[in-house]
Amino acid sequence: MNSLRNNTLWWRTLLIYAGALACGFIGSWLNLPLPWMIGAMAFATVVRLSNLPVQVPAVSRPIGQMIIASSVGLSFTPAAVVVLSTLFVPMIGAAVLTIVAGFAVAALLMRMTRVDVITATLASIPMGPVESANLAARHGVSPGPVIFAQTLRIMMLVVFIPPVLVALDGDIQDPIAALSAIPWTATGAVMLSGVALLGAFAAKTVRLGNPFFVGSIGGAALAAALSLPVTAYPYPILIIAQVFLGVWLGAVFDRNLVREAGSFIPGAIVTSLLMVALCVMMGLGLTWITGQPWTVMVLATAPGSVTEMALTAKILQEGISVVTAFHLVRIFIILPASPLIISATARLAARWQLRSHVKFLRK
């Protein structure tokens, strides 16, 4: 019986990835940027909204993260590190302004949906679905709407930002070629995977948030900064990583999550779009301050989705290290501070009686 069940599970997994690859191929044929991630995400979302299971190995997400993160980390060359040292203050400012924008969006979400202030804040400040769900459970609010809002914003960024920027750039005729034409060697790719793995486990040992992304990018960045002989991966490996992450992201959007979000959905859509718009305006403003290209700063200030924004910068062939550094600084500010931010918000809400808004009931 167990053998039959395991065989069924493996067949389902193979069918999911086959469907994801087929949709990725369609995206590639349509010449979309990040076609394999967008296609896989769309396929997994449709499957889950059809109330069918998307059961894939849990290890697929950290593997995808390590591959993408270490590919991005290669941009931290010695010359890039010198440029980044001049942008540290704008990076801090962008992270703080993102938190402020999150509170502004949360206030609108409260007015539109009558949710409590903790749910609205966790749904609006970009801190990732997993981290925000953990804080929701800790503060006694339903994680469902929070996960929905955080995932919705990430999906909006993936679907809209890369195609729009590539289209507006006008010089990129073949987005896929920009990633597939990157030179690589077998020994350099193996060395890159090794430093990524070491960085990931080092980050996990010291209990950093999102260790398989943060640690892998740190290991690869250190290797690049030290001019070690690391190279990119062959493009098929990058396709696998995009499919892994796309399926994982789409699988979050299941029917139960949407049902639990209920009337919260229209407000989440409006405020997610508003948050993206506010961050785009912030990026355009920072263009004047930093002297960086506007496309780079829009990607750098996007409220989440660092892997996809960095890959888009790679397609545009400019500012990969700047985009990644801005996101990393924001991550290292928001994630460690998020428990304090939410606790302070809860205390102020209790003092000002803001928790009287309707809560989603925990099931």
Count other Cβ atoms within 10 Å, centred on residue 197: 16
C-alpha–C-alpha distance, residues 285 and 250, integer Å: 32
Q: Report, as ranges of residue numbers, the positions in the chain whose pLDDT lies below 70.
A: 1-7, 170, 173, 209, 352-363
User: Is 220 strand, coil or helix?
Assistant: helix
Contacts of residue 194, defined as CB under 8 A and 6 or more positions apart, other chains included, come to: none
User: Is 358 strand, coil or helix?
Assistant: strand
Q: What are phi and psi of 358, to 5 degrees?
A: -65, 135
The confidence score (pLDDT) of residue 12 equals 83
C-alpha–C-alpha distance, residues 252 and 295, integer Å: 29
The confidence score (pLDDT) of residue 347 equals 83
The confidence score (pLDDT) of residue 263 equals 77
